[in-house]
Chains A and B, each alone.
Chain A
Amino acid sequence: MTTIFIRTIIIYVVLLTSMRLMGKRQIGELELSDLITTLLVSEIASLPITDTNIPVSHAIIPIIILLTFEVVSSWLLVKFPFIKKYISTHSTMLIDNGKLCPSQMQKVRLTATELISELRQNGISSISEVQYAILEQNGKISVIQKPEYRQPTAKDMNIKLSDSGFYNIVIENGMVNSHGLSAAGLSKNSLNDMLKKKGLKPKQIYLMLISSEGDIEIIKKEKK
């Protein structure tokens, strides 16, 4: 039991570190190799947790190798884009300018029923509403509606809206977020001055947001 307990912790730390090194693209599974790596890593990691016959190194070594391959391949893709055509798939246009492309659908082995189901999941009831439908590299279908079916924007209606900017988390659960603070262009002293004017301390605040326009939102902690 103790062995399984310790092994689980070791494997968890190794996995967390590996996924952290692989980065956000791994979680998003942008490429085919990302999906393969995620599946393999999860399978490999679970083996020595449940089977004490298998040494922990038999999980750590493959995970590190997969991590390296993944990071190196994604770096090479960025550095040498021409490699992409050899190691990854490309997006496929299923509906091009309102016209369904049966030949492309056949290429990706997608039926009309499956396409319509995906459109429905995107809130679209008819193919006639769609201008473009693209099967992305990660297997998801992106849909762009025809202009007459799209929701009007403020620009279409000639309405001028104020830009609230980007909100940065400055305090979370009583703790100052230094990353958010520097993104908001503030120092700890200026934050303290701001809070002092409002008669507050960081420990009293559950969430504090500051936008790039200087707007502040504060949610205080509930009194116990």
Chain B
Amino acid sequence: MKSLIISVTLFLLVALCIIINVGYIHSTADKIEKAAVGLAEPTEEKISALEELWKKNEGILGLSLSSTFLENVSKTVVSLRCAHESGDAAEYEKNRAFLFHCAEGIRGLERLSIENIF
């Protein structure tokens, strides 16, 4: 009976963590997407805000997303900064587009869909 109670409690705890995590991931993806929209007109402030956002959320996202994916997003953020500083508009837009893709990717990993399940 003791092991039944403990295992069911752990299960409910895990379920709760998953629900919270899904909410968190969707909210973070929305914030990244919003930042990407705002970066259509690049400013130092906006890019720093994006870097700050990513730095703040990278650790917790690492609990459920693969390190390869996180690395790709980090690279995109860094490349965006470099492109802005070098004045390379084409590179900047490319990385901005990739940022949208990353946000969708973050959201997609926790989306309940036939593709994800199978």
Contacts and interface: CB of A to CB of B under 8 A. Distances in A.
Contact residues of B: prevailing secondary structure: helix
Given A72-B4, A72-B7, A75-B4, A64 B14 contact: yes
B66 A54 contact: yes
Interface string B1-24: 101101110110010001000000
Contacts of B62: 55
Interface string A37-72: 000000000000000111111100100110110111
A69 B67 CA distance: 30
Contacts, number: 45
B106 to A, nearest CB: 14
14 contacts: A21-B6, A21-B7, A53-B68, A55-B64, A56-B63, A57-B63, A57-B64, A64-B14, A67-B11, A68-B10, A68-B11, A71-B4, A71-B8, A72-B8
Which among A57, A65, A70 has the greatest number of chain B C-beta atoms within 10 A? A57
A70 B18 CA distance: 20
Nearest to A71: B7
B7 A68 contact: yes
Interface of B: 1, 3-4, 6-8, 10-11, 14, 18, 62-68
Which among A22, A52, A64 has the greatest number of chain B C-beta atoms within 10 A? A64
Nearest to B10: A64
Contacts of A54: 66
Given A61-B14, A61-B18, A67 B64 contact: no
A55 B3 contact: no
B89 to A, nearest CB: 34
A64 B68 contact: no
Contacts of B66: 53-55
Nearest to A20: B3
B62 to A, nearest CB: 7
A72 B9 CA distance: 12
Given A52-B67, A55-B66, A65 B4 contact: no
A38 B73 CA distance: 37
Contacts of B63: 55-57
